[in-house]
Structure 1
Amino acid sequence: MLAPSVGHYQFVRDDGQPLDFQPGQFIQVHFQYADGTDTKRSYSLATIHDHALGPGDAVDIAVSFVPGGAATALFEGLELGGHITGSGPFGRFCLNPGDHNSRYLLIATGTGVTPYRSMLPLLRKAIEERGVEVVLLQGARTPAELLYSEDFRAFAEATPGFRYMPCLSRELPDNPHPDVRQGYVQQHLAEIGPDPTRDIAYLCGNPDMVDACFEALKAAGLPIPQVRREKYVSSK
């Protein structure tokens, strides 16, 4: 369990082939409701790999548990070695090799932070090769709900040019890091000074947060092509 209501799962393809994906993409898990109706759910891949995926390499996803949810029942019922059916990967919420910006603003709430975990090796490469700066604003209610925070803090400490700013709306940790903020991510955008001449922003997570940050970034002068968005909507 990554948080009280979020589980971390690893999967490998049962045909022995790698699941090639671009960091930022998602897979779809297919299953049926109790009445036999087909349905599916989308999950961004949280996998960190510094190399091309090979046969047997695992891929990671984070699953939010929704009380009474059909997908929640599917994942809670999985045993080690259990199977799911999926398709993909899909999506274009990825780093663009043609980007010439000097800073990335990565903003997320909840499981919306999972694509950024998979992007860490590419971000390190951009920092080392292009001198890019990266700021990650991660929103949660409490420290226990900051998904993968240990990975992001360790990456920040090992990688000059990467700044990790958790924003907590209800509860701060004891002895918080100087970059921890109280409140919502959109309240702290102004502090990092969005700049249309240098920034490309990524927004992922709660639709209200995505919309609020999108408007704030537009007001700061960022043109729409420099703001890349993906909304997460919980469903049963």
Structure 2
Amino acid sequence: MAEQFPLRLVSSYMLAEAVRHLVFERADGLPFVFAPGQFIQVHFHYADGKPTKRSYSVATIGAGDASPIGQIEIAVSYVEGGAATALLANLMEGETITASGPYGRFCLFDNDANQRYLLVGTGTGITPYRAMLPQLRKVIAARGCEVNLIFGARNEHELLYDADFSAFEREVPGFRYYTCLSRHARSLPRTQDRRGHVQLLLNELAPSAEGDIAYLCGNPNMVDESFGLLKEAGLPVPHIRREKYISSK
């Protein structure tokens, strides 16, 4: 069983109407080391005393490698009647929770030799890609590969970390940031905005079995449908890396 440790809330703000960004530090003063793309688990108890836990990707923009970070940032979606929502929505600065981790292998691999990454996310499934930005900068510079980030949301108000991804696109040649809005277009549309779901844009980008590695994170239906699309395009299964985000009460 992984070691548990206390996290103290440093600050927070609303990313969207139903998504809160929380910034923690380890209350025990020990360092936290993670690989971009990994997640932590928050441990707590139901009202009846039964223990439970929820998983949250680390959104912290660190050094781009497995170096200690001073703060652990996560994005939390509010679920009506959810036990984790009751805990994290009402958490005040200075209060502590219990966590463990990091976990997971939804990470960039050192031995990748592909020509392009297709990074697809919906909702809070976009958070691991925020943590990957420094690493992606290094990969693009070192290998000259292209990175296409595809973010699916209902409207522009649900584009979490939109300013971070937009700024990175301006700074880093080789990085393209696409948005797919299923309900309402932006008030000021961008060239790489699309209407509809991310699967349509995947088709537009013509996935290549020879040159692409794809990452899928977020809504399980999106992940499953995109996985099928990419397999039909010929991508080998090891080149389609998945992480499903399931809302739990």
TM norm structure 2: 0.93
CA distance in 1, matches of 2:197, 2:77: 20
Partner of residue 166, structure 2: 153
* Identical-pair percentage: 59
Q: Give, as a single letter, the amino acid of the residue that structure 2 aligns with 1:53.
A: P
Q: Give, as a single letter, the amino acid of the residue that structure 2 aligns with 1:229.
A: R
How many equivalent pairs are there?
234
SS in 1 for 2:199: helix
Note the alpha carbon deviations across 1:39-93, whole angstroms, 9 max, x for none.
0000000010126225xx1110000001111100101221101101001000000
Matched, 1:33 2:66: no
Partner of residue 222, structure 1: 235
Partner of residue 118, structure 1: 131
Q: CA deviation at 1:129?
A: 0.6
Partner of residue 105, structure 1: 118
CA distance in 2, matches of 1:172, 1:3: 16
- Which one of 52, 74, 87 corresponds to residue 74 of structure 1? 87
Q: CA deviation at 1:17?
A: 1.2
SS in 2 for 1:193: coil
TM norm structure 1: 0.98
CA distance in 2, matches of 1:172, 1:162: 22
**Moved beyond 4 Å, runs of 4+:** none
Q: Give, as a single letter, the amino acid of the residue that structure 2 aligns with 1:13.
A: R
Q: Give, as a single letter, the amino acid of the residue that structure 2 aligns with 1:140.
A: A
CA distance in 2, matches of 1:76, 1:111: 15
Matched, 1:95 2:108: yes
Matched, 1:209 2:209: no
Partner of residue 68, structure 2: 53
CA distance in 2, matches of 1:93, 1:188: 22
Computed over aligned residues only, the root mean square deviation of the Cα atoms, in angstroms, reads 0.8
Q: Give, as a single letter, the amino acid of the residue that structure 2 aligns with 1:154.
A: A
Q: Give, as a single letter, the amino acid of the residue that structure 2 aligns with 1:61.
A: I
Partner of residue 15, structure 2: 2
CA distance in 2, matches of 1:225, 1:77: 40
Matched, 1:141 2:147: no
User: Which blocks of at least 5 consecutive residues in structure 1 are unaligned?
Assistant: none
CA distance in 1, matches of 2:188, 2:96: 42
CA distance in 2, matches of 1:137, 1:23: 18
Partner of residue 200, structure 1: 213
Q: CA deviation at 1:175?
A: 2.2
CA distance in 1, matches of 2:186, 2:73: 27
SS in 2 for 1:178: coil
Partner of residue 189, structure 2: 176
More strand by share: 2
Q: CA deviation at 1:191?
A: 1.0
